[in-house]
Structure 1
Amino acid sequence: MQIYNMHDAKTNLSRLIEETVNGGEPFVIAKSGKPLVKVVRIDAEPEKPLRRIGFMKGQMKVPADFDTMGADEISSMFEDAK
């Protein structure tokens, strides 16, 4: 996504909007390097939110004894600490 500073956006606003309306990418207008607004077509499809839950599905396997793994070692550490 292209970022334009306020001065460039004012100078080229008609062209930038025309490009966006005719299937171009949305663009951002910034002031002093800080993004202020995003210009998109009114009938543009909304961006899908980034889905984080389940992003590693099928890439890892949790052992069936996960809840009890290392229980003997952990117990011995606490028993030895007394």
Structure 2
Amino acid sequence: MQVTIHSAKTNLSKLIELAKAGEEVIIAKGKVPVAKIVPIPQHGFTIGLLKGKIKPGGPDFFEPMGEDELGLWEGKN
């Protein structure tokens, strides 16, 4: 589908919905195509994406630091 700039300004929401549905939307200045409206792929967030990929045994971030580690963090060592 090709529309003029004026028509695109008037019907932008409808044209975006058409592009999301897979329609190719071309915006033309006069009869010369100058832009295309294309959808951006939407990726859903997956909970548990790393489940089973992270091995246990790493540092326990909820345990207090030892004096040597604390000194490094505070810039004393």
TM-score w.r.t. the length of structure 1 is 0.46
More helix by share: 1
TM-score w.r.t. the length of structure 2 is 0.49
